[in-house]
A and B are shown apart, each in its own frame.
Chain A
């Protein structure tokens, strides 16, 4: 739909009168030139050319108006968009899905076409660590620059509407660009000009398009508009059935609430599936993050305990360079190696690893940037500390008091930044569009891992060192069993509370819960069993501390079990999350079909539109 003004039909043109509406239904100013006057004077370039427009509404917030009564699911909008943006089959900026209610022949299928909503509060923009996103004063367009993006995919987690699309082939995110080039010519976006049901319209957001009567903020199935204040308005006048089903395999149905108003609540459909282990479904694109988060938490935990415990208890005397110089140095460099592996894994998770340094670009808004920065500082200080304590000569050129203070400063800094990094890590997952994660359980789980793996790891290394040196190991391990117990307790409470939260929160959170209890049901039970073994084992060790080889063997056993326990737990953390999105269709935009296509080999035919698994 590469149309210019002279080849455009009448319906393609934007309204030429200046809109008189000043405030959006969310209560914000529509005149972005008044809200952000400093950006008005700046020139706008499109594809390297200075762009100008005499559109009187250029600095007003624009958005899509969708008439759900009219959409026929002909896919013309999606196709016009994909054609204009040269998109391959597996990618789409706009997608049409549907929900269906009633019974034959009194059945209603509501089709919904959805792209980016160019939100007032663009959570994608805030999430993006590279600052690839810009919200422009022109039209209020939220645009993303794929050349800046390094393909972490974090914006795709943050967006409640599944608007940013991660292209696994190019390793970058791309999204709807509001057809700003067309807007500058006074033309509506390609999708709107292509609409064949007269369902999709576009203009100044609160300005009713011709022939429309409603500009509602939501329709059944649409995620909570308060998350990002999306610039989309709906018309939906037809009477709706009491209950809507989805076709895309997500076990959600939408039920009219008790008052009988047209308020629909998402409920989980009982799939009647029996619990399975689901091991084949544990692996996901986020596997590198399983490794990264576990390693980072392990390293920070071990280091923090290593630094703090000798300050707190004489039983931690073993945890000093004086007692075990080799274990000490080995531990420090071992932690550096593990953290390096973690960071590498996280960088390899990026679509474009070579641009990893762009991760620090958005400290102002992005918890991901903050995490990356804090973890880098931690890593640097950890390295510095290891170097100056192992090779004091390195600091010998410094004035005496400074050289003496350096290890303390470095270790204190590493402790603070390490803990802060893990805190940032927990905040990364507090995303409203991912209700499974958006709970304190995430923080609880991360800090629990920090304590569990940190204490078990330290105990294993220094216990072995003590044992080999012919010393007693029970004092040290007894001390370390306290943080271990604390971690397990935290984990147990977090898991239990989370389960109740998922049910209470309902909708996508409840889908995750049902999946947890069915698709991964046996794994979930196994996880509680391993938790029980770990907990009872720790308690037993704490109250009845044997001595010698048996103790060390038991401790090692707990460590190995904890590694498996944590790895499976973390894998579940990633595969169970169910995002808030619009309903998909039967094949397209249906993650269950995508999984099926990958498994059966349908995905190997490029025309199926599913990218085969790279792993």
Chain B
């Protein structure tokens, strides 16, 4: 008998003793998935599941979300504030009062000695919007430094800048539901299946129900490129030329939507004059794809009843990232594809709350998309917060990427880093290392005590993490969703909101102003401030957000259930209510491969890791898929250099070098290599990171390197292991 026995064995399935499920929103990327964390009777998180009736993920989760509950028990969480005199001393555990007092007095000392802006604050896209808002109030209203920015400069700044230039305001106009209506989707520099697997699934579902062309533009043959109907493997950094040329064909063949252009845009003539120079023949020479393909894509896109574009870092992280975004917006404006179902310019955002920082952190302006440059906005906020109007600067200060050079040359003496890790994430990290050494005072606030940047800190604040506090995130499609508290933070770790409010008390001005202590109270202020603004939260409450699994702003009396799209009426945020068509002359200022450095270096995400691996590097079930850095390299190029699969090689740029394990694959061109961005002491040692003139975002994806075989593989292996242990 085949069944192995005469009687049925009882079946044992590993138990999941969940007592209660707690609702939260995922704290990794900006897809905005609703997660329920299962907690057992001892209060330990033991399971996770996607929320089945959440519109974003409909019960699905990617691998990071599935294992997010394991973060509560992950290694090297900060449990107590740490302090030391010099960065080369050993840390001592101290009480919160001591750590906060020292930090406040150092900030005050530096500001007194060198000026208010000599102390800088660089925050993140990872904390809750209530916390961003409170930090903004502290930075703008109490501390009063204008050198205050978020690490979103490394990821979304170009999208923000491009949206502002085209539409007069930040704010992605579309939503995921557009996949269900579009007739043509153009994805530029986005690898959805790895970067945003759930958004890819939404797209896949839409395509399974109803076929429509998917066009992927990417120099690398990603899985997304493989799934596309057309893959355009353009030369790195030539996307603006492609976009200009697409517009050229559309205008030349009369496929544009004249009615829309006339009614809702300005600047058409100058725009048309410029794109006239970008005929497909010339463009094909620059882009490295043929002219017929350019014409074909242009016609497909323009003739579709609704066409949309999505993009991520392939566009943003470029010397002309902002122009790339404007180029995409141009394409959609001339074809009338903004604010309609299936027709949009949808930037696929990076961090879970990159949108929240854009809306409320006051990094680049004042809350709810108010601008420092507008006197009325300054006056309004000064009155609302109880700050002297003149205390606000009249224009925004340095971007993150300009703050570090200002430290290097001594204009900035003190720095507060919040949930960000420039030692791994900034381009040219050897330079960042030297820069951080020069600080008179560095305070690092992070959930993890081993985040690489703590190496140069004088004070470390242990922060609570996702799921250990309450508040909201805004996702890619403007959906504000709720994070409930699942777990107490470990040891003395505190929510960032608490840290900011405690810090505020250490200034006389902070004691005069109102700093609500509960997230719900802060949310009330945000609702009030956003009323009537583009990012209108006035129709939301924490409970309503949970019940509806998130609501898309603007959400107000007119739209109590939120708004899937903005600009549906063709009214934009520029003074004249119109969108701008902006001509984009192309200047090729990239570091290009040459004889000495013959390879293009490209970097990007892998699905199992999040940013600098402070979280995912500790979850074995994620980290095991790439526990150490690697480099994708074309087999033909490797053979020429005597480099073999699964051996270490040395990659050298004009900045520095890195040791990586080589993975031979035809996914990359013979003159290009790809290295995941996540690893400490790796690809960002090599990257030049020229800054975009508008967004100040670094170009991570266009550098030149040379590759050398390593004879002594054992030493290379030891070096690699050592670099993974910090």
Seen from chain A, the residues whose Cβ lies within 8 Å of a Cβ on chain B are 1-3, 7-9, 11-12, 36, 39, 42-48, 51, 70, 72-76, 78-80, 82-90, 100, 102-105, 107-109, 111, 121-122, 125, 131, 133-137, 143, 145-148, 177, 179-181, 193-194, 196-198, 211, 247, 249, 362, 365, 585-588, 592-593, 596-597, 599-602, 605-610
Contact = CB atoms under 8 A, between A and B. Distances in A.
Nearest to A196: B201
B628 interface: yes
A1 B60 CA distance: 9
Contact of B665 (A86, A100, A143): A100
A608 B9 contact: no
B627 A608 contact: yes
Contacts of B524: none
Nearest to A48: B10
A522 B1 CA distance: 48
Interface in B643-677: 645-646, 663-670
B303 to A, nearest CB: 26
A373 B630 CA distance: 50
A106 to B, nearest CB: 8
A104 B667 contact: yes
A136 B621 contact: no
B62 A74 contact: yes
B608 interface: yes
B640 interface: no
A79 B67 contact: yes
Given A72-B193, A194-B60, A83 B10 contact: no
Contacts of B646: 249, 586, 592-593, 596
Contacts of A365: 4
Nearest to B219: A105
Given A1-B49, A46-B13, A143-B11, A194 B61 contact: yes
Nearest to A49: B10
Contacts of A72: 193-194, 197, 200, 223, 227
A48 B10 CA distance: 7
Q: Which 6 A-B pairs have the closest CB atoms?
A: A89-B620, A609-B624, A9-B59, A79-B63, A72-B193, A107-B666
A607 B617 CA distance: 7
A45 B666 contact: no
Interface string B7-35: 11111111110100000000000000000
Given A3-B52, A76-B66, A82-B621, A104 B4 contact: no
A145 B233 CA distance: 51
A529 B167 CA distance: 81
Contact of A196 (B14, B48, B60, B645): B60
Contact of B8 (A75, A102, A136, A194): A136
A596 B2 contact: no
30 contacts: A2-B18, A2-B38, A44-B11, A48-B10, A72-B193, A72-B227, A73-B193, A74-B197, A74-B200, A75-B625, A82-B621, A86-B16, A89-B624, A100-B665, A104-B233, A104-B668, A105-B669, A109-B223, A125-B2, A136-B8, A145-B12, A196-B204, A249-B645, A587-B624, A600-B717, A601-B721, A602-B721, A605-B627, A609-B620, A610-B624
B607 interface: yes
B717 A7 contact: no
B205 interface: yes
Interface in B711-726: 717-718, 720-721, 724-725
B226 interface: yes
Counting chain B CB atoms within 10 Å of each CB, the highest count among A43, A78, A104 belongs to A104
A597 B193 contact: no
Contacts of B630: 586-587
The binding surface of chain A is classed by DSSP as loop
Nearest to A147: B12
Nearest to A603: B627
Contacts of A87: 621
B242 interface: no
Contact of B63 (A76, A111, A122, A587): A76
A170 B301 CA distance: 57
B61 A608 contact: no
A432 B356 CA distance: 58
A247 B663 contact: yes
Contacts of A197: 193, 200-201, 204
Nearest to A247: B663
Contacts of A39: 3, 8
Given A104-B634, A109-B667, A134-B5, A588 B13 contact: no
B4 A125 contact: yes
A217 B584 CA distance: 54
Given A79-B63, A104-B634, A198-B208, A609 B11 contact: no
A607 B623 contact: yes
Nearest to B628: A602
Which of A102, A122, A180, A196 has most B Cβ within 10 Å? A196
Given A586-B646, A607-B618, 17 more contacts: A47-B15, A72-B223, A74-B194, A75-B607, A89-B624, A104-B668, A131-B4, A135-B2, A143-B11, A247-B645, A585-B625, A596-B646, A599-B717, A602-B627, A602-B721, A602-B724, A605-B627
A76 B61 contact: yes
Nearest to B204: A198
A50 B208 CA distance: 39
B665 A588 contact: no
Contacts of B664: 247
A537 to B, nearest CB: 41
B5 A131 contact: yes
Given A102-B666, A104-B221, A592-B646, A137 B59 contact: no
Contacts of B201: 196-198
B472 interface: no
A600 B1 contact: no
A88 B624 CA distance: 11
A103 B636 CA distance: 10
Nearest to A593: B646
A104 B666 CA distance: 5
A606 B645 CA distance: 25
B294 interface: no
A11 B414 CA distance: 53
